[in-house]
């Protein structure tokens, strides 16, 4: 260490403070890395590894990234799970006496990113802290880029609840104590499903007394008393560990988090990870894209704050009819006033990310361009307030009240910052003329000095007769007089030679040296003063954090409500009735996503579910006919209603649903030793254990991963369990190919049969997409296989096998498949009705005229007439 250069000693001092990070060490226009850090970064980012003399015999391995574009490299390292410590120059190297002072200004981790280029403006970037104490757990989620902080306490079934809460917020980094890692499934869930970085902190970081100190440092005592944290020690520990970690990584600006928003499971509908994936709320299952999701349909927001908020609302439907009604009232008022919608949309289109810009202001990293963005956004607020001055709904009135015009901030920035500020503060030229008299004097000295230089150049040309003489500037030698070699004989003796070049000589004079000191002194002082003035402006704006944050929240809410209104008008949605009735009654409902994707008109359907006579709907019919679409649209409309949006239906009544559970599709988890059927049963078990009578359950093809009789038995037992009020009695949509289950309508109270109507013409099948009462008697599996392109030889062989199986099926099996036991007795009785009339009557009973075209109706009537007349 003694043989190291002073700069490398400084490097190792910084590295010693943060040994588990990659150290970005600022040297001039580069961030440099040395030794192991250099080797690591060179390998991970494919950078050239060089070396540097550092006072030892061997050169130190070194690689670097440009200061002006470091965010690109930083993002790649953080995405790979590395932590990066930023060691910045704390003074201008040109003004430093000796070694430049440096210090760690922040440590960048996946959950503490502030750079806008590294963040997705449409979603939050949460860091979570989890503390497990016995049978309780404290969980909090903070987004330091927006200042949001949410916290809750969990009790019982901790592993399952922790999975649900973590998946709800999807943090990029999670701070945990050892007890969290002791769970069997949770660590794997975090790694595989959330892909989050995990930081195991010492138990001392969660120690109660120390945690309380950290929390008290962040918030006032009276505000903490309102949150009643005294009886939630596990939550206090989680919060304390979070703030300690943020103070260590961010160093300054943690005060951006100014309030804790406590929440509980009683506020929001429960949507576990499977349900969010199956319903494709924010992204599609197959490609992970936004297009094709519910978010894609509803998101017509204009601001980054609105994009983040609408995602949050979709993932957290409300359980309070009053809160839902406030949103619906606001959406309704906006749908009825097209001029108001257009005015709001026009103003919102120019609004920047108030929340994240303000965070960078508070953390001291905002540059001049970001302050100008803040000013431009503030100019949009007065017109927005004017547009809202006559609104009537309670929520829009509250938004108007919370929306501060921020005139003083806009005026301050406009007076202080030039319209097109430079990227770096160290370049100068960022403060507008007239803002500081002292700065204007310095710039005047610089300007007049440059004028004198021009005069000197003209005078010296005339005096010496050297027509190509010029006065120039070099960062090493300062100002100089340059004379081409052809004119060297004319150079006066008073010129002092400073530099010899190939084609010319450079000289200085006492007058030029004196002028150089005046100009460069004024420049250095002006740059330093501009930096100080900018810091003062930024600090003054940071003091208005609460006003800006409140305004940002109001703007975000207005943006989402406007988006709901625009979508509702564009797609002809209707306002739902949301109450505590426990009913789900939809008239002519449509799937919001499928409808938006289809070029052809969507076939609407009714949905009727309640807690009494329509608890369970058993839906039969062929594959591809639309069973899954029908069930999903019922779930999506329920979610849309409870987030306060209009819904795709002619009319809708939605009783508050506390949770939606789905078991849809076939998948496996072979790495965990779970087959498709095993995973299906695990998900069914979770549903049956956690659903309540107020839940909505979507079950698609239960029991198909095992033998026919086993699967049918499990499917029937599940139907009986969910239908029985003594065991569950939840609203359930149950799609199945086990036609035998349709017999349950006559055996179980609250069970009703439905099927997907279709038409068969020989080997061809047409899906009519209509849900009708009654059970289907065929699956049309072979016809669907034909549609899928299975070779005709296979299709024909399948038909022969099916016919043989039907002939050899046991009598009791055949009777069960008909799902109408009484038919066996009816077939033994004599009848005086002519055969043709009986067949015509049966065809009329099974016919759904709503699914027939006019020409089909005429054909059917013609055939029925022939039957009754006995004509063949």
C-alpha–C-alpha distance, residues 511 and 32, integer Å = 41
What is the Cα 364 distance to its own chain's centre? 26
Nearest to 23 by CA among 71, 98, 74: 74
124 annotated ligand-binding residue:
no
DSSP 8-state code for residue 580: S
CA atoms of 32 and 87, how far apart (whole Å): 10
Residue 700 φ/ψ, nearest 5 degrees: -120, 110
Residues in CB range of 670: below 8 A, 6 or more apart: none
Asked whether the beta carbons of 153 and 234 are under 8 A apart, the reply is yes
- For residue 789, say whether it is annotated as part of any ligand binding site: no
| Torsion, Cα of 261, 263, 269, 271 (10° steps) | 80
- How far CA 181 is from CA of 141, 238, 252, in Å, comes to 18, 15, 30
Q: How many CA atoms lie within 13 A of 501 on its CB side?
A: 12
Q: Contact at 8 Å (CB) between 479 and 471?
A: yes
Using the Cα atoms of residue 302, residue 397, residue 309 and residue 311 in order, give the sign of their dihedral. negative
Between helices 545-571 and 304-315, what is the axis angle to 10°?
A: 70
Rounded Cα distance between 684 and 25, Å, is 54
Report the sign of the C-alpha dihedral through residues 774, 777, 782, 783, in that order.
negative
What are the distances in angstroms from CA 179 to CA 136, 205, 215, 404, 742? 11, 14, 22, 45, 48
- Annotated ligand binding at 624? The verdict is yes
Q: Are 866 and 834 in contact (CB under 8 A)?
A: no
φ, ψ for residue 530, nearest 5 deg = -60, -40
Residue 627 known to bind ligand = yes
Is 626 known to sit in a ligand binding site? Answer: yes
Side by side, which strands form the sheet with 148-155? Answer: 197-200, 173-176, 127-133, 136-143, 148-155, 261-262
DSSP letter for 739, please: G
621 annotated among ligand-binding-site residues: yes
The answer to whether 622 is annotated as binding is yes
Which residue is listed with tokens 């625009």? 566
367 marked as part of a ligand binding site: no
CA separation for the pair 372, 418 (Å, rounded): 8
Write out the binding residues for ATP: 621-628
> Would you list which residues are annotated within the binding site?
621-628
């Amino acid at each position: 260490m003694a043989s190291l250069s002073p700069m490398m000693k400084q490097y190792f001092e910084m590295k010693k403070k943060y040994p588990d990070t990659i150290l970005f060490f600022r040297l001039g226009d580069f961030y440099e890395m040395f030794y192991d850090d250099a080797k690591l970064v060179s390998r991970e980012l494919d950078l050239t590894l060089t070396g540097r003399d550092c006072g030892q015999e061997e050169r130190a391995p070194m690689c670097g990234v440009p200061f002006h574009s470091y965010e690109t490299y930083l993002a790649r390292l953080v995405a790979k799970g590395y932590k990066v410590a930023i060691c910045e120059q704390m003074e201008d190297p040109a003004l430093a006496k000796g070694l430049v002072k440096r210090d760690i200004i922040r440590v960048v981790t996946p959950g503490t990113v502030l750079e806008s280029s590294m963040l997705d403006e449409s979603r939050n970037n949460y860091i979570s802290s989890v503390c497990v104490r016995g049978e309780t757990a404290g969980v909090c989620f903070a987004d330091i880029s927006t200042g949001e902080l949410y916290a809750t306490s969990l009790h019982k079934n901790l592993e399952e609840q922790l999975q649900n809460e973590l998946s709800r917020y999807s943090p990029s980094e999670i701070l945990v104590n050892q007890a969290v890692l002791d769970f069997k499934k949770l660590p794997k869930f975090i790694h595989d499903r959330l892909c989050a970085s995990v930081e195991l902190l010492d138990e001392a970081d969660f120690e109660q007394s120390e945690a309380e100190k950290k929390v008290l440092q962040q918030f006032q005592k009276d505000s903490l008393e309102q949150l009643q944290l005294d009886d939630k020690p596990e939550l206090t520990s989680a919060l304390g560990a979070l703030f300690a970690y943020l103070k260590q990584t961010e160093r300054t600006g943690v005060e951006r988090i100014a309030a804790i928003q406590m929440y509980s499971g009683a506020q929001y509908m429960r949507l576990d990870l499977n349900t969010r994936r199956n319903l494709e709320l924010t992204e599609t299952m197959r490609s992970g894209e936004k297009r094709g999701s519910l978010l894609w349909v509803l998101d017509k927001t204009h601001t980054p704050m609105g994009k983040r908020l609408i995602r949050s609302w979709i993932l957290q439907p409300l359980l309070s009819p009053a809160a839902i009604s406030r949103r619906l009232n606001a959406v309704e008022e906006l749908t009825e006033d097209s001029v108001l919608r257009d005015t709001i949309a026009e103003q919102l289109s120019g609004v920047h990310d108030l929340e994240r810009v303000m965070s960078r202001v508070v953390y001291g990293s905002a540059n001049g361009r970001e302050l100008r963005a803040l000013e431009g956004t503030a100019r949009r607020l007065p017109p927005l307030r004017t547009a809202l001055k006559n609104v009537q709904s309670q929520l829009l009135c509250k938004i108007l009240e919370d929306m501060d015009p921020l005139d003083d901030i806009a005026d301050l920035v406009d007076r202080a910052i030039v319209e097109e500020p430079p990227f770096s503060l160290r370049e100068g030229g960022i403060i507008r003329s007239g803002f500081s008299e002292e700065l204007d004097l310095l710039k005047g000295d610089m300007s007049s000095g440059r004028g004198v230089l021009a005069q000197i150049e003209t005078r010296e040309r005339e005096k010496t007769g050297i027509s190509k003489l010029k006065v120039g500037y070099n960062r090493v030698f300062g100002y100089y007089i340059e004379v081409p070699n052809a004119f060297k004989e004319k150079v006066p003796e008073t010129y002092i030679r400073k530099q010899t070049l190939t084609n010319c000589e450079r000289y200085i004079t006492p007058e030029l040296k004196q002028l150089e000191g005046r100009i460069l002194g004024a420049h250095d002082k002006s740059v330093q003063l501009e930096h100080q003035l900018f810091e003062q402006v930024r600090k003054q704006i940071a003091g208005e954090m609460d006003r800006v944050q409140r305004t940002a929240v109001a703007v975000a809410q207005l943006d989402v409500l406007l988006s709901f209104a625009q979508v509702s008008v564009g797609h002809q949605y209707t306002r739902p009735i949301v109450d505590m009735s426990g009913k789900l009654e939809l008239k002519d409902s449509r799937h919001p996503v499928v409808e938006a994707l289809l070029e052809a008109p969507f076939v609407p359907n009714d949905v009727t579910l309640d807690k009494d006579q329509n608890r369970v709907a058993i839906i039969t019919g062929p594959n591809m006919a639309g069973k899954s679409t029908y069930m999903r649209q019922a779930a999506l409309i329920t979610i849309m209603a409870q987030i306060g949006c209009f819904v795709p239906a002619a009319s809708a009544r939605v009783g508050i649903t506390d949770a939606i559970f789905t078991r849809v599709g076939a998948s496996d988890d072979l790495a965990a030793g779970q087959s498709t059927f095993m995973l299906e049963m695990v998900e069914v078990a979770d549903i049956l254990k956690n659903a309540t009578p107020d839940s909505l359950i979507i079950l698609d093809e239960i029991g198909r991963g095992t033998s026919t009789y086993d699967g049918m038995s499990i499917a029937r037992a599940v139907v009986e369990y969910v239908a029985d009020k003594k065991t569950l009695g939840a609203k359930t949509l149950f799609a199945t190919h086990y036609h035998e289950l349709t017999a349950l309508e006559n055996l179980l109270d609250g069970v009703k049969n439905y099927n997907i109507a279709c038409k068969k013409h020989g080997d061809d099948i047409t899906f009519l997409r209509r849900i009708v009462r009654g059970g289907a008697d065929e699956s049309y599996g072979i016809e669907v296989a034909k549609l899928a392109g299975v070779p005709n030889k296979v299709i024909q062989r399948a038909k022969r096998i099916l016919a043989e199986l039907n002939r050899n099926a046991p009598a009791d099996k055949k009777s069960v498949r008909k799902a109408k036991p009484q038919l066996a007795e009816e077939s033994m009785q004599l009848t005086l009705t002519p055969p043709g009339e009986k067949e015509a009557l049966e065809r009329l009973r099974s016919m759904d005229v709503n699914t027939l075209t006019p020409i089909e109706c005429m054909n059917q009537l013609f055939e029925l007439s022939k039957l009754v007349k006995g004509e063949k």
